[in-house]
Amino acid sequence: VPAAVTSFRGYYQPLGVFFLARAIRPRPTELRALLGLWLVVGAIMAGFGLLQATTWTDADYRAEGYVRQNGELVVPQVSVDGKPYLRPASTVSGPNELGLDMVLMSVMAATWLLSTTGRRRRLALAACTLLFVGGLATTLSRSAFLGLFAALFGIAVMYWGRLKGGFASMGTG
């Protein structure tokens, strides 16, 4: 049963927001609210991943059902500075999935940050972006880091005119 829960959690949780959006067919204001809720869920995932990375042991992961069908942990142990480290999975099926979710969350928060106004909203989005990048960092997922760099390159291309204008105004200040 724990392995089935882990598999379900890993495969369907990330898609939940898409099923929800398709089911309710939100208007633009509702879509913004849905994306805001998605950021809240992402913040919970990142916070839980950070908690796992700093406090959980092999026994904690086993007790909570983070095991494959063959009984192995879904969170691989790696060596960091010669010390064992269990890569967190948060609420998804493994560290690579968490890393990908954190890439999606950080890119969404960063692009929203670039296009929003209001000091409080910008601070909240900046904090979310940092939290998601921190959550990504705990996973040590090379593929997720590569995805983040590709996404940041894509954002730079999309916002090149705005970025170029901002750099130009810094030089003439």
pLDDT of residue 167: 66
How many CA atoms lie less than 13 Å away from 170 in the CB half-sphere?
6
Of the listed ranges 109-118, 123-132, 133-142, the least confidently predicted one is 109-118
pLDDT at residue 32 greater than cutoff 60: yes
Q: What is the mean pLDDT of the chain?
A: 87
Taking alpha carbons only, the member of 116, 54, 133 closest to residue 88 is 54
Which of 70 and 13 is assigned the larger pLDDT?
70
Whether this prediction's pTM lies above 0.85 is answered by no
Integer Cα distance of 21 and 86 in angstroms: 34
Residue 76 has pLDDT above 90, yes or no: no
Both tokens assigned to 116: 């929003």
Looking at residue 67, its pLDDT comes to: 86
Residue linked to tokens 């593929």: 143
Q: Residue 159 pLDDT > 70, yes or no?
A: yes
Q: Within 10 Å of residue 35's Cβ, how many Cβ atoms?
A: 16
On the question of pLDDT at 40 being above 80, the answer is: yes
d(C-alpha 159, C-alpha 68), whole Å: 42
pLDDT tens-digit readout, 141-154? 999 999 999 998 98
What's the confidence (pLDDT) of residue 142?
94
Give pLDDT, residue 14. 64
pLDDT tops 60 at residue 173: no
* Cα-trace Rg, the chain: 18
Distance of CA 21 to the CA centre of its chain: 19
Predicted confidence (pLDDT) at residue 83 exceeds the cutoff of 60: yes
Is the pLDDT at 70 greater than 70? The verdict is yes
pLDDT at 18 over 60: yes
Inter-residue contact 53 to 63 (CB < 8 Å): no
Cα–Cα distance, 50 to 44 (Å, whole number): 10
Residue 55 has which token pair? Answer: 């406090």
The label of the residue with tokens 């691989």 reads 76
Instruction: Give the pLDDT of residue 46.
Output: 97
Residue 172 has pLDDT above 90, yes or no: no
Name the token pair of 27: 């208007």
